[in-house]
Amino acid sequence: MSSQMIFFLAFAVIAIACAVLVVKLDRISHRIVAMAFNFFAVAGLYFLLGAEFIGIIQIIVYAGAVTILFIFGMMMTEHRHITFGNNPRRVHRILSLLGVGTLLGLMLYGILNLDLPADNEQFYGSAEKIGVELYGHYVVAFIGIGFLLTAALIGAIVIARKEAK
């Protein structure tokens, strides 16, 4: 087993375990920590794929900015009185497990039967090439995402201010 495979398995296990912890933990602060570790594990997977630029962006944007945004949201709202609902019934657990298993089976079937071309040439995108694509061909989508994120930030502030009164 190569060292790359060992690191892949380690990052994959960390990412999956932290994703499960985000759903299963009770305290929101613990969920945020698990989410941050999940983001770092996904960044490690990007580094293993040779996509260093995307890995660095993953760390800066998600592990840094989004996690800090969740922490600010947690600090600005009264989250101690919020519950995540009762435990689901046994039937719901069985149905959700069956649904997740079916989805996993369909995904594995699709991946294993995927016809990929035998192109061994790898793409090594530089930051310059990504910048030209982003600000050249996809500038309208980039500006739209900027407006969407600004609207989301304003909405979060309005919701937090209403709860403070």
Tokens linked to 148? 């969407």
pLDDT tens for 128-153 read: 777 787 788 888 988 999 999 999 98
Q: What is the rounded distance in angstroms from the CA atom of residue 111 to the CA atom of residue 119?
A: 17
pLDDT tens for 29-44 read: 888 899 999 999 999 9
Q: What is the rounded distance in angstroms from the CA atom of residue 65 to the CA atom of residue 45?
A: 19
Among 60-64, 118-122, 154-158, the minimum mean pLDDT is found in 118-122
Higher pLDDT, 4 or 87: 4
pLDDT tens for 68-109 read: 888 777 777 776 666 656 666 778 888 888 998 999 899 888
Return phi, psi of residue 103, to 5°. Answer: -60, -45
Q: What is the rounded distance in angstroms from the CA atom of residue 62 to the CA atom of residue 152?
A: 16
How does residue 123 score in pLDDT terms, banded at 50, 70 and 90? Answer: low
35 close to 45: Cβ distance less than 8 angstroms: no
